[in-house]
Amino acid sequence: MRDPVGEIFSALADPHRRFVIETLASRGTATPTELAADLPVTRQAVAKHLAALREAGLVEATRSGRETRYSLRPAPLAAVTGWIDEVGSVWDRRLGTLKRLVEEQGSPGQRPS
């Protein structure tokens, strides 16, 4: 079974890949050589990171002559955002219930009226 959210989290687990995502978000497009100039890794390592990001659907490649430029595809991040919002709302409800129970019981050391 394919897990798109898991694939995205896996792709974003590496700090170099997150840097690539941030760079593409600010620049619009970049080549592997341009990205490697800003990272402490080789161009070949950047190409492998881009392949992982592409497999997760986070970047797309556009070939122009001998040059390949990469750009961000932010749409898949919506699935991650939706998952985080869903989990967050469950915890918000649980914490709200806990808060209500604590407030109903009063704080320790407080005498019931």
Residue 97 is assigned to a structural domain of this protein: no
- What is the side-by-side order of every strand in the sheet holding 29-30? 29-30, 67-72, 59-64
Residue 90 is assigned to a structural domain of this protein: no
pTM, full prediction: 0.71
Number of other residues whose CB lies within 10 A of the CB of residue 81:
12
Residue 66 is assigned to a structural domain of this protein: yes
The structural domain count of the chain equals 1
Residue 45 is assigned to a structural domain of this protein: yes
Residue 62 sits at φ, ψ, to 5 deg, of -125, 120
Residue 80 is assigned to a structural domain of this protein: no
Identify the bridge partners of residue 61 per DSSP, sorted by sequence position.
Answer: 70
3-state helix, strand and coil shares in percent for the chain, rounded to the nearest 5: 65, 10, 25
Residue 108 is assigned to a structural domain of this protein: no
Query: Could you report the per-residue pLDDT of 29-84, keeping only the tens digit for each?
Result: 999 999 999 899 999 999 999 999 999 999 999 998 899 999 999 888 888 888 78
Q: Percent of the chain at pLDDT above 90? A: 52
The one-character DSSP state at 112 is P
Rounded to the nearest 10°, the torsion over CA 68, 72, 73, 77 is 150
52 touches 58 (CB < 8 A): no
Domain assignment of residue 67, given as a range: 4-74
User: Which CATH number is 64's domain given?
Assistant: 1.10.10.10
Q: What is the mean pLDDT of the chain?
A: 87
